[in-house]
């Protein structure tokens, strides 16, 4: 489904969720995984395969990058690798959210929807 306007759209649910988490600040992989569960009210679970696979592709695409910053060196785990969203990632996130809204708007003009 070729989508015009943005070169990254449409994003996969996994990529969108990761961008959504990182829009609040840098996080490490495992933290992203847990936050996705919170964001989806426990309805969606991202396994390590999807997580690190997506992260790799997103870094290659320039949507995210590794971050130097450590939130708290005292409370920090040495193993952690932090990621942050890039300007490209922000743009892709906003474009995808516009697409989501458009879809919901179209649906609302059509079906009775108790949501």
Partner DNA sequence: TTGACATGTATCCGTAACGGATATACTATC
Partner DNA sequence: GATAGTATATCCGTTACGGATACATGTCAA
Q: Which two tokens stand for residue 113?
A: 């929807």
Nearest-approach distance from CB 94 to a copy of itself, in angstroms: 6
Q: Which is nearer to DNA, 83 or 114 (CB)?
A: 83
Nearest CB to a copy of itself, comparing residues 67 and 90: 90
Interface pick for a copy of itself out of 62, 80, 81, 102 (rule CB under 8 A):
102
Nearest CB to a copy of itself, comparing residues 7 and 76: 7
Find the shortest distance in angstroms from Cβ 47 to DNA. 4
Contact flags string 11-50 toward a copy of itself, x per CB under 8 A: --xx-xx--x--xx--------------xxxxxxxxx--x
Kindly state the tokens that stand for 81.
């690798």
Closest approach, Cβ 114 to DNA, in A, equals 26
Say what the alpha-carbon torsion angle 27, 28, 32, 35 is, to the nearest 10 degrees: -60
Are residues 35 and 27 in contact, defined by beta-carbon separation less than 8 angstroms?
Answer: yes
Beta bridge partners of 28: 82
Burial class (CB in 10 A: 0-12, 13-18, 19+), 82: buried
């Amino acid at each position: 489904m070729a989508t015009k306007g943005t070169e990254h759209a449409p994003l996969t649910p996994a990529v969108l969720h990761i961008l959504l988490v990182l829009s609040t600040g840098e996080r490490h992989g495992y933290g992203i995984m847990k936050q996705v569960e919170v964001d989806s009210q426990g309805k969606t679970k991202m396994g390590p395969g999807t997580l690190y696979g997506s992260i790799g592709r997103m870094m290659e695409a320039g949507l995210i990058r590794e971050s130097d910053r450590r939130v708290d060196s005292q409370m920090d785990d040495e193993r952690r690798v932090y990621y942050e969203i890039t300007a490209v990632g922000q743009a892709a996130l906003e474009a995808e959210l516009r697409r989501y809204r458009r879809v919901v708007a179209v649906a609302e003009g059509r079906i009775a929807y108790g949501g």
